[in-house]
């Protein structure tokens, strides 16, 4: 890219487009497009997407808006590992309201190159900045994730590493909802990732393993981490989902305790969640999702909300956050 990457990511905030793939609900087309426009109009310049989000729907919607902008003025990332086909498939679950197209899993070199070309077409652009290998993890594939990780290691990893060395992309890594695949990839000598997306794992609700393993490995290797899902699928905002599934009772109880502490200090959990995920030196950006235009302003206001040090100290005293967590204002 010809734009200054550090300048474009300087406020550490981006826009995650999973909701625009009709995650959990059917979003009217104009509402989705207006949400992207609102992000742009309010200064957001990093956008992340994936073929998996609505079987190409999120990429298409994002491309409609960003194709009208100067390509040097924003950072764009997408993912590989899933191919959207023309074959019809009725889908239920997370993206039940998506395009009814069959999506197949394939981390091979050939599929990686094809996936990138397909994404470029849907996004109406000529280049990508970051590419993430999507969901090579236990939460999607159970014990089979190890063999898929190995397929990615000899396929997608090598393709993306080559593209980075050629200057075609600025960086690459994994985009997963667990930390272990990123940790394993960072140990590779042949093709270590330089920028990975860790969703739901470095948040106010859960961060112990990330702090103990993933973040130190990233710092040791000079890799960066993008934090996705900082609200844990809306759980921290009073929603019914936690990490893309129904919220369990113990998580509800933990959030209830956090909410009482936040109320006592005059703090919103949205602000606390965003500001918790931002300060760590390994974090390049935090990318909350949104599906309504008004949510963008709320997110940006939450980043600027004043949070007293006593709030963080109360969370530590009740063992709700790690004593090792880097919080705003700490040195």
Is there a domain that residue 328 lies in?
Answer: no
Is there a domain that residue 326 lies in?
Answer: no
Is there a domain that residue 323 lies in?
Answer: no
Asked if 327 and 272 touch (Cβ cutoff 8 Å), the reply is: no
CATH number at residue 89: 3.20.20.100
* Interatomic CA distance for residues 73 and 227, integer angstroms: 21
79 burial via Cβ count (<10 Å: 0-12, 13-18, 19+): buried
* Interatomic CA distance for residues 212 and 206, integer angstroms: 12
* Interatomic CA distance for residues 244 and 232, integer angstroms: 8
Is there a domain that residue 331 lies in?
Answer: no
Is there a domain that residue 324 lies in?
Answer: no
- Structural domain of 86: 5-317
Question: What's the structural domain count of the chain?
Answer: 1
Checking if the pLDDT of 127 tops 80, the result is: yes
Half-sphere exposure of 66 (CA within 13 A, CB side): 32
**pLDDT single digits (tens) 129-148:** 999 999 999 999 999 999 99
Is there a domain that residue 237 lies in?
Answer: yes
Of 171, 267, 155, nearest in space to 223 by CA: 171
* Interatomic CA distance for residues 133 and 275, integer angstroms: 27
Of 320, 318, 311, nearest in space to 264 by CA: 311
Summarize the confidence of residues 152-169 as an average pLDDT. Answer: 97
**pLDDT single digits (tens) 49-84:** 999 999 999 999 999 999 999 999 999 999 999 999
* Interatomic CA distance for residues 210 and 2, integer angstroms: 32
Annotated catalytic residues are: 48, 53, 79
* Interatomic CA distance for residues 328 and 276, integer angstroms: 7
């Amino acid at each position: 890219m010809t734009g200054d990457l550090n300048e474009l990511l300087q406020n550490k905030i981006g826009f995650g487009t999973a909701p625009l793939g009709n995650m959990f609900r059917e979003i009217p087309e104009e509402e989705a497009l207006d949400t992207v426009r609102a992000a742009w109009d309010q200064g957001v310049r990093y956008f992340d997407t994936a073929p998996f989000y609505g079987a190409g729907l999120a990429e298409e919607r994002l491309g409609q808006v960003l194709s009208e902008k100067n390509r040097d003025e924003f950072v764009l990332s997408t993912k590989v590992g899933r191919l959207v086909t023309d074959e019809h498939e009725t889908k239920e679950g997370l993206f039940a309201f998506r395009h009814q197209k069959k999506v197949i899993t394939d981390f091979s070199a050939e599929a990686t190159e094809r996936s990138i070309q397909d994404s470029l077409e849907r996004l109406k652009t000529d280049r990508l900045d970051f590419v993430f290998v999507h969901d090579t993890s236990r939460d999607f594939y159970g014990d089979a994730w190890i063999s898929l990780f190995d397929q990615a290691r000899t396929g997608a990893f090598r393709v993306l590493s080559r593209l980075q060395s050629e200057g075609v992309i600025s960086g690459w890594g994994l985009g997963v909802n667990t930390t272990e695949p990123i940790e394993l990839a960072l140990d590779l000598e042949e093709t270590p990732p330089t920028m990975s997306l860790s969703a739901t794992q470095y948040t106010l609700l859960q961060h112990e393993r990330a702090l103990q393993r993933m973040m130190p490995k990233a710092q040791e290797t000079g890799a960066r981490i993008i934090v996705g899902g900082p609200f844990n699928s809306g759980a921290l905002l009073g929603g019914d989902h936690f990490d893309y599934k129904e919220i369990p009772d113990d998580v509800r109880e933990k959030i209830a305790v956090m909410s009482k502490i936040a109320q006592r200090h005059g703090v919103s959990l949205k602000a606390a969640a965003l500001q918790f995920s931002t300060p760590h030196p390994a974090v390049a950006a935090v990318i909350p999702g949104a599906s309504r235009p008004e949510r963008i302003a709320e997110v940006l206001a939450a980043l600027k909300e004043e949070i007293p040090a006593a709030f963080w100290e109360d969370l530590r005293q009740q063992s709700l956050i790690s004593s090792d967590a880097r919080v705003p204002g700490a040195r």
